[in-house]
Structure 1
Amino acid sequence: MVTKYRQLFNDQFSIEKYKEFQNDIAADFNYMPTFRMAETPFFISNELKAQLIEGCQDVIRLIQQDNFKQLTEKSLELNTKVPNEDEHTTFLAIDFGICEEDGQVIPKLIEVQGFPSLFNYQYVLYDKFKKYFPFLEELTPFINDISSEDYFKIIEEAMCNHLPKENVILLEIEPEKQNTKIDFYYCHRDIGIPIVCVTELIKQDKKLYYKNDQGQLIQVKRIYNRVIFDELELRTDLNLNFSFSDDLDVEWAGHPNWFFRISKFILPFLKGKYFIETTLLSDLKEIPTDLENYVLKPLFSFSGSGVIFHVTKEDIEAVTEKELYILQKKVNYIPIVQSPDGKVKAEVRVLCVWKKEDKNPTMLCNLVRLSRGEMIGVKFNKDKDWVGGTLGLFER
């Protein structure tokens, strides 16, 4: 998208440099991420940046509606409702596929999540890329061109709310086994909060505790929540000492209810040039005859699980809980990133933080996924290069 920087990067790129870059990340914790790290950033033009911002603002306007909680209450009826919900989400991730429509490049909303993403890893990734490609200092991953220091302060406040670090935890299901654990490691290193498994929490009355490295019982006053509920429901082997539905004396950095409220559940409500025709399966009047142009998706899954790309009439008829699925029109991802041997598709996730006292969320940075397959996910990109997770860089 920005020819000058694409040419500079590709001219300086080598397999050897890419391996050094990977090993540099792995050396931080003697751990190589299990997801594929793409070879390149995505260079985002000012025009595309403006479109992404406009698309995000359209999503945010819906979330800011006075009746938004009423509009999304059914999403909680279908799932586990957690007490003490705050006025708005703390984190917001808005995913756009970079598509082609009427011969023009345009971002199209693929998904939106009231849930945190790789805030700490993306911050580090920028520095790693600059180390091997110093000219990238001219660009920024931050939408509002803030400094790295400002970015760090914003995410630290969102996660900790000025509480002592030992009383704030990053909560996950067996975090050491998660595909995103590199982000947890950077969060622990840079923010200073402990990483705790759901099975390690101890409930006493309305309070939660964990044991620190010295075996001392420490009260949990705030939870940076990374638990995906559909994964938790599948893990019937886990022995928890508390329930998310308990009335607990704890703050949430990312209250679990917002994972359901701000999800694929709201896609049918979004209309406009950046949005895709989406229908809740329970609202579908008749099955389209051109199903090759549609994708079937579960509402509350994560990382593309349960998506049926080549959907059939039988697939739709087989769904018993039709209020938990959407039928979405396919979009035409445009191969836009020039690799040494062809062009690659891109998806941009805009990462936002919404401070408790603020009227609006702040668009902070981004995460990009590159793909050569028909979809963005890992299973569509096996044994391919110039694909995987990376970040977008904007002109200053």
Structure 2
Amino acid sequence: MNPSARKTFNEKFNDEKYSQFLDKLNNGLREPVPFRVAETPVFLTADFRDKLIAAGNDIVDTILRPDFKELTERAIPDFWRVANENDHPHFIALDFGICKDEQGNIVPKLIELQGFPSLYGFQVHLGDTYQEVYDLPGDETIFFDGLNKESYLDLLKKTILGPYLSDEVVLMDVNAPEQKTAVDFYLTQKYIGTPVVSLSDLIQDGKKLYYMAGDEKKLIKRIYNRLIFDEIAGDPEVFTKVADIRQPLEVEWITHPNWFYRISKFTMPFLTGDYIPKTQFLHQLEQIPADLENYVLKPLFSFAGQGVIIDISKEDLEAITDPENWILQQKVNYEPVVQSPEGGVKAEIRLLYLWPDGDEKPTLAINLARLSRGKMIGVRYNKDFNWVGGTIAFMPR
């Protein structure tokens, strides 16, 4: 981490400044941001930034393998398989913990990955707000690959809209206005014009989908999909009440829902490299490791850390009835590298890629960061702490 940038920031920081930051962040939004935003951004050195880029490149190379779909076919649950899958994901998110290796070097370690969009709109607004309120140096950026705000938004627009008009593409989630990520939905609408709709707003007529814009019924040509099927899995009859989006409809998906499963924890056992923790499918485990305390057990088909067993025993492994749906992953130990007024804080960096149709490979575009003092990264593990929550990393241009 960049010690000089951290020292300068901390010397100028006070609670009044943080209050100003939150006021500025929420100003003009439909609703205040519903999750905790950290007091500080993360400041990366050029060296650590380059390690992140190299780690991401290795993972993207695996996704680009010609047999990647064949490798990940089992990842897609039959009930949630959606027709008309395309040939690549439009969004890739890679989560890296900031750790220390055996030689004492600060390194990224892959935690999870997903072929699904993240806060591509909100992070722009967040970065702008940190920059303005805290008067951060102009030679620091939140973007990769030489992008700036204008060229980034152009790439985002190219990815989501493609050849279509903004009112022909809808951003869709289940009960979209009520989601914690709705702040991102409406900022995306502000930046590129995509209407925000809920699953129940989709009107099916034959193989076509429509939505209502006031009194006008409009044809949907693309869905910018923010729906995670886990959120509707509790209702097996859901598609008798709303449009059955699994059918071969005349609509494009950005990104297609099947990629949520293909690029996920399921992919981890196929990855290798210095920044990848050793990971195996539980059913392929030949011998239980003697040092189980250095491993974590994860269900393949869950999200937001649900079902993860951190402190595992031999009995935990033997109790699993569907080992093909679990992975055993070498535990990653976060290093508390972000110095707060009250001590070190752990951090995670999410690399966010955009892959518009027509491009040969994805572009690393922007990032998201999270700070934690709890046992795991995430809101539910960090209640009542300060200097934790969602943030963003700045790095040298």
CA RMSD of aligned residues (A): 1.5
How many percent identity over aligned positions? 44
Which residue is equivalent to 1:21? 21
TM-score relative to the length of structure 1: 0.96
Q: 1:35, 1:179 within 8 Å by CA — same for their partners in 2?
A: yes
Secondary structure in 1 aligned to 2:344? strand
Q: 1:83, 1:247 within 8 Å by CA — same for their partners in 2?
A: yes
Which residue is equivalent to 1:2? 2
Q: 2:160, 2:356 within 8 Å by CA — same for their partners in 1?
A: no
TM-score relative to the length of structure 2: 0.96
Separation in structure 1 between the aligned mates of residue 295 and residue 347 of structure 2, nearest angstrom:
20
Structure 2 unmatched runs, 5+: none
- For residues 82-93 of structure 1, what are the structure 2 equivalents within 5 Å? 82-93=82-93
Separation in structure 2 between the aligned mates of residue 122 and residue 129 of structure 1, nearest angstrom:
10
Separation in structure 1 between the aligned mates of residue 14 and residue 186 of structure 2, nearest angstrom:
28
Which residue is equivalent to 1:339? 340
Separation in structure 2 between the aligned mates of residue 325 and residue 385 of structure 1, nearest angstrom:
34
Q: 2:130, 2:136 within 8 Å by CA — same for their partners in 1?
A: no
What's the offset of the Cα at 1:368?
A: 0.4
- For residues 354-393 of structure 1, what are the structure 2 equivalents within 5 Å? 354-393=355-394
Separation in structure 1 between the aligned mates of residue 322 and residue 78 of structure 2, nearest angstrom:
10
Given the alignment of the two structures, is residue 280 of structure 1 paired with residue 309 of structure 2, yes or no? no
Separation in structure 2 between the aligned mates of residue 79 and residue 243 of structure 1, nearest angstrom:
12
Separation in structure 2 between the aligned mates of residue 36 and residue 141 of structure 1, nearest angstrom:
20
Deviations 1:15-37 (A, max 9, x none): 11111211222222252222110
Per mean C-alpha deviation after superposition, the further-off stretch among 325-334 and 300-309 is 300-309
**Shift in CA distance, 211/77, structure 1 to aligned 2, threshold 3 Å:** same
Structure 1 unmatched runs, 5+: none
What's the offset of the Cα at 1:166?
A: 1.2
- For residues 231-380 of structure 1, what are the structure 2 equivalents within 5 Å? 231-236=231-236, 238=238, 240-380=241-381
Separation in structure 2 between the aligned mates of residue 285 and residue 389 of structure 1, nearest angstrom:
39
How many residue pairs get matched?
Answer: 395
**Matching residue's letter, 1:208:** L
Secondary structure in 2 aligned to 1:234? coil
Structure 1 consecutive aligned stretches of length 4 or more whose deviation exceeds 6 Å = none
What's the offset of the Cα at 1:162?
A: 3.0
Separation in structure 2 between the aligned mates of residue 19 and residue 380 of structure 1, nearest angstrom:
23
**Shift in CA distance, 236/70, structure 1 to aligned 2, threshold 3 Å:** closer
What's the offset of the Cα at 1:384?
A: 0.5
Which residue is equivalent to 1:218? 218
Q: 2:38, 2:371 within 8 Å by CA — same for their partners in 1?
A: yes
What's the offset of the Cα at 1:277?
A: 0.9
Which residue is equivalent to 2:58? 58
Secondary structure in 2 aligned to 1:28? coil
**Matching residue's letter, 2:328:** L
What's the offset of the Cα at 1:321?
A: 2.3
Separation in structure 1 between the aligned mates of residue 242 and residue 32 of structure 2, nearest angstrom:
32
Separation in structure 2 between the aligned mates of residue 320 and residue 178 of structure 1, nearest angstrom:
33
Which residue is equivalent to 2:48? 48
Secondary structure in 1 aligned to 2:50? helix
Secondary structure in 1 aligned to 2:34? coil
**Matching residue's letter, 1:107:** P
What's the offset of the Cα at 1:77?
A: 4.9
